[in-house]
Amino acid sequence: MKFRSGVLHGDEVTELLNYANENNFALPAVNVVNTSSVNAVLQTAKRLMRRL
């Protein structure tokens, strides 16, 4: 599925989250300060074998 670039709203966000879930990938939270924080969260989740 192709999503437009930029900020998504409403049903677009739901579609993106469903797509990510169905295809087994994570979306970083919007309140992270940099890519290091995103990487730390994803690595910790992987180490703990938890889904985000």
* Predicted confidence (pLDDT) per residue in 1-52, tens digit: 689 888 899 999 999 999 999 999 988 766 678 889 888 888 888 888 866 5
SS3 sequence of the chain? CCCCCCCCCCHHHHHHHHHHHHCCCCCCCCCCCCHHHHHHHHHHHHHHCCCC
Whether 4 is covered by a domain: the verdict is no
Whether 2 is covered by a domain: the verdict is no
d(CA 37, CA 9): 24
Cβ-contact 1, 12 below 8 angstroms: no
Q: pTM for this one? A: 0.55
| Domain residue limits at 29 | 11-48
Count how many domains the chain has: 1
Whether 24 is covered by a domain: the verdict is yes
